Structure 1
Amino acid sequence: MFEIRPAETADYPRIVRLWHQGWHDAHAALVPAGVLAFRTIDHFAIWLQEARDAFYVAVDAELLGFVSTKGSEIVKLYVDRDARGGGVAHRLLFFAELNLAESGVQEAELFCTAGNSRAEKFYQREGWIISRSFDDHLWMPKGQDGRFVVRTHRFQKTVTPAT
């Protein structure tokens, strides 16, 4: 069984590797090809340094996955390839929902690249509803001129504290 705890600085290299791998598994075929030059391991390290999210990790002997939250949003949710299908994503998502609810959030949101079928189906099974779809600008490192847009779904869910 694994535990979920706040991420520590020592977790960052593993978070970056897992995030890089998971992002490429889920998004590389869905985004404009030009953005891939800005999705290297080094760029994910920069992205993590710039993030203002609260990160939480699922850990057994190894880091199995992570989730991050900011305000009313579940920002990132990634699970290691070897841990997929074992309930890690469900537990991380539930943990994040509960965390948001306990901080006073009633209506949580998350964003998902349109066409990421695995994630879309997972969120819908977990009770999330697509509230709208729109064109969104992808993250780029500071100082880069490129602008890349991808179709994105905004999911919503009413969250409540545990009783």
Structure 2
Amino acid sequence: MSRAYPILLLSAVAACSGPSEAPSDPATVATSGKRDVPVEDVPAEVLAAAKAERDGFTIREAEAETRDGRSYYDIGGTLADGTEIEFDIMQDDGEWRVVEIQRDIILAETPVPVRDALADHDAAFTPARIIESVQADGIVIYELYGPDGDDPQGRKVEVKWDGESAELLTQEWKH
């Protein structure tokens, strides 16, 4: 038997194993990646949590993922006035609860201190997309996405707003 055979075998096993949930950057959340889920396959408790959060909410889509070992569903849809909104719903001790409510906004809709924190961090950064993410405790995390050279994933900057002050986050926000 060749000495190379065990090395080739180990290499093949490593190549076939699934992706690690450990982030390569400790400032990011470990995730399984989102997968689309037909709305009819979403647990009734998850759908009930979303519908209870806002009157007139119509569910349009669902995604599931595991973040830092916890199960989540992202339930997207529209309010009665047509506003698009998404609920991040986490399983916590067997119960499903809404942990954040997200909507896309423009920079002018962010509080001035949030814009100031972003400018102080990088005055040249121009976000192409902004997600306002209202947490269950009322804290708002602004997720700002923009270009980053040749990186097709772009760049993400997060700013925490507590209603009085803005703080640039150096690690991705976790629930």
Same topology, TM > 0.5: no
Q: Tell me which protein shows more helix as a share of its residues.
A: 1
RCO higher in structure (CA 8 A, sep ≥6): 1
TM-score (norm 2): 0.31
Higher Cα Rg, which structure: 2
